[in-house]
Structure 1
Amino acid sequence: MSKGWGRPFEEPIEVDGRSLATLREAGEYIAALPKREHDAPEWRGAMEALLLVVERGGPTMFARIGVMRALNRHYDAELNPNGKEPHWGGENLKREL
């Protein structure tokens, strides 16, 4: 597998009206963040993932996941307090009988 900052992501990361298509663009985006945000554990983890992919030639998906997790760190998924989603179908399947 190839190494280096010029490697493209399989799918670019859309953020703030721009597209991060390569590992270099993602690294530059992280480096340009305000210090307080840049020092957040999620962004440090994203940069660490980028460096591992660049230096060791791993799958770019690992770096993409790190960046996406950092970008979405404030997103709080709403969970259904009842547990399971309701079953809206009116017909029983044979296996349910």
Structure 2
Amino acid sequence: MSKGWGRPFEDPIEVAGTKLVALLDAAKYVTALPKKEHSAPKWQAAMEALILVAEGGGPTMFARIGAMRALNRHYTPEINPKGKEPHWGRRKLNRDQ
């Protein structure tokens, strides 16, 4: 497996109208963030994943996942308190008919 900061992501990351195509693009994006945001734990983990993939080799998907988690860190999915409801409804027993 090849190494280096020039390795492209399998799917580019779109952020604010720009595309992060390679590991170096993502690293430049992270380092250009304001210090308060750059020092957030999610961004630190994303940067660590970028460094590991660029210098140690490995799948670029790991670095992409780290960057996507950092970008979407404020998103919380809506949770259904009832859980998943079955599509068939309640079963009718012979005694209830």
After TM superposition, is the score higher than 0.5? yes
Aligned residue number for residue 52 of structure 2: 52
TM-score normalised per structure 2: 0.88
Residue 85 of structure 1 and its aligned partner are, at CA, apart by 3.8
CA distance in 2, matches of 1:78, 1:12: 27
Identical residues among aligned pairs (%): 71
**Unpaired stretches in structure 2, ≥5 consecutive residues:** 90-97
User: Alpha-carbon deviations, 1:18-60, whole Å to 9, x = none?
Assistant: 0000000000000000000000000000000000001111100
Q: Which consecutive segments of 4 or more residues in structure 1 shift more than 4 A? A: none
Q: Does 1:63 align with 2:63?
A: yes
CA distance in 1, matches of 2:40, 2:64: 17
RMSD across aligned positions (CA): 1.2
CA distance in 2, matches of 1:75, 1:85: 24
How many correspondences in the alignment?
89
**Unpaired stretches in structure 1, ≥5 consecutive residues:** 91-97
